[in-house]
Structure 1
């Protein structure tokens, strides 16, 4: 990201940014305004899902997602401006997800933003999708730095100390699958439909979570890292062991998997809370523990995290459900913050399949490993 000239603050001290998001299977556009005193106003916030397109396959098909993004992105951006009552000329900057994500999808938002920036002369801000999630609670709450973040979604499970804007320190990450992937893949094996996470939660509502003894990942291992691959495999083995599973078998297994995932998230988060609290010994008020990402919408997960936070002297903060999952409002918010500091990007800004939020930790201590395109996590 280039350190450009000071941000184009309007005469009254406001900044207005168009944000675009297309990293997975949500095409999204939003317009945010920041007042001279720092208040954030969401002027428009649009999201197009792709559930019907991917449902026959039981998961997101990257090629289908990329095509749908490319067809919808430009029109949705125009609609977001229209609903905000603004023209492109009245926008101060254009922010777009530049990674990480499905590369074909990422390119849709980024290329649309580049075209709009080139045609209008407005600055481009290439945003890390994970930074959007990290800042998302600030869309609805006046949240001061620092705070502890659990980012838990279909593609990411990380514990991050958000020390300040642009300063992120990884405390833990998944060694294999993300929690959301464990939800989705288990739902697919059980034939629960797509999207898998919500379908599994609905099925689990009538289940006995104590029926099946599932593994406790990384039990006895120190630190704040996660692992869900073994739990996912154990669930599949149980399912394959049924000769003719009935509705109660399905509900009991769904409830057991959901509880095991939630327990793991809460246990490792407790360790991160203690580490975070130890770094702020003078603070007496309940410390902020933020959970963001699609899995944060799961009520069992949320209840266990609430209990863990309360018992560790923290206060659980979660964005409204609309901003837990992928959205453009969080991308526009990150763009606003960068623009305020005069940080913009050239038209050569790359689309990235991988883009760690804590680049130093990812380079020096990669959790999963490193490939041709850089650190995987």
Structure 2
């Protein structure tokens, strides 16, 4: 694996020896003819090492993922150097498993797509360095992927959704609302001002555990009450902000007046209580609520490969030279018009949240 230079995001020249041995391990015999373009997606933005091969029609040919959750639970959170080392130990195996499952040889790939922003710097570096070696050996185009854009566009893999549509991305590390006008055309309507919902819950629980002197294996006496209260408060808050975003977009003719689509993705999107709160909003605003399957809401290689397919078809962000490419731990999603949304001072009608 490559060693990072002192300047964050810049890599030394790829070493070919290990990658050459890796590529030699594929001994697929000719037989299946692939009529569609194939993209390998690689994801290492946080604590999941994932890879997948997807064709341009949206067929998932193979995927693999290694979760670090069990390790990080023991340390009480993600420690970046630990996450980096686990990515290094597993990335070659995960990519190999995804390719083997797809019955695709590396030479048959049309492009390689990899998350390079935003995320944990050390984690992003592992995925990018491995991808650069692979691209260098195979002489294939490289497609840099924005992690949040990939989450937003995943719905187009599972449903026929046309642009524009509204997307709510909610997870342990992110909470934002954006208008998706194209494959790489996003307007940021709003985001969390401090921490994301999942992060908030973690911090609150740790504080309560200290207050009650909870030891490992014990449960908070107020766990049920906290869960119910927090869930309802978060759901209502997110629903109200989403309602305002819908009204703003319709007021500015950024969305259709009827049958507009709201997509909800990210790990927290699997929460059915929050989904029901959002359904109340979409029913009141003549919108359709769509969510990817739970396994595609969390980090995965499929969404990265699919974003690569979308960009390949649109001819956007396809690099034939990787010189100067670097990862970006912090990177905004699209053009930020959240100030404009606030200045519009839209009054949101009160809805009965009977969930």
Same fold (TM over 0.5): yes
Q: Match for 1:322 among 272, 290, 295?
A: 295
Query: CA offset at residue 179 of structure 1?
Result: 1.6
Which residue pairs with 1:63 in the alignment? 81
Query: CA offset at residue 336 of structure 1?
Result: 1.4
Residues 280-299 of structure 1: pairs in structure 2 closer than 5 A? 280=253, 283=256, 285-299=258-272
Which residue pairs with 1:219 in the alignment? none
SS of the residue corresponding to residue 75 of structure 1 reads helix
Query: CA offset at residue 85 of structure 1?
Result: 0.4
- Kindly tell me the number of residue pairs found equivalent between the two proteins: 303
Which residue pairs with 1:337 in the alignment? 310
Query: CA offset at residue 248 of structure 1?
Result: 4.8
Quick one: structure 1 residues 247 and 12, their matched pair in 2 at CA, closer, same or farther if it must change by over 3 Å? closer
Superposed CA offset, 1:219-244 (max 9, x none): xxxxxxxxxxxxxxxxxxxx83x689
Partners of 1:243 and 1:90 in 2: how far apart?
Answer: 57
Q: Where do 5+ consecutive residues of structure 2 fail to align?
A: 1-32, 343-355
Residues 43-62 of structure 1: pairs in structure 2 closer than 5 A? 43-62=61-80
**Is 1:278 the counterpart of 2:251 in the alignment?**
yes
Which residue pairs with 2:51 in the alignment? 29
Partners of 2:254 and 2:191 in 1: how far apart?
Answer: 25
Mean CA deviation greater in 168-177 or 245-254: 245-254
Q: Match for 1:14 among 36, 39, 50?
A: 36
The TM-score normalised by the length of structure 1 is 0.75
Quick one: structure 1 residues 190 and 48, their matched pair in 2 at CA, closer, same or farther if it must change by over 3 Å? farther
Query: CA offset at residue 273 of structure 1?
Result: 0.9
**Is 1:310 the counterpart of 2:283 in the alignment?**
yes
Residues 126-275 of structure 1: pairs in structure 2 closer than 5 A? 126-191=144-209, 240=211, 248-275=221-248
Q: Where do 5+ consecutive residues of structure 1 fail to align?
A: 1-10, 192-238, 368-377
Which residue pairs with 1:125 in the alignment? 143
**Is 1:351 the counterpart of 2:324 in the alignment?**
no
SS of the residue corresponding to residue 352 of structure 1 reads coil
Quick one: structure 1 residues 363 and 182, their matched pair in 2 at CA, closer, same or farther if it must change by over 3 Å? closer
The runs of 4+ residues in structure 1 deviating greater than 3 Å are 187-191, 242-248, 279-285, 362-365
Superposed CA offset, 1:203-230 (max 9, x none): xxxxxxxxxxxxxxxxxxxxxxxxxxxx
Are the counterparts in 1 of residues 197 and 234 from structure 2 also a CA contact under 8 Å? yes
Quick one: structure 1 residues 61 and 41, their matched pair in 2 at CA, closer, same or farther if it must change by over 3 Å? same
Quick one: structure 1 residues 280 and 109, their matched pair in 2 at CA, closer, same or farther if it must change by over 3 Å? same
Partners of 1:308 and 1:362 in 2: how far apart?
Answer: 22
Quick one: structure 1 residues 330 and 259, their matched pair in 2 at CA, closer, same or farther if it must change by over 3 Å? same
Query: CA offset at residue 12 of structure 1?
Result: 8.2
User: What RMSD over aligned residues (CA atoms) do the two structures have, in Å?
Assistant: 2.5
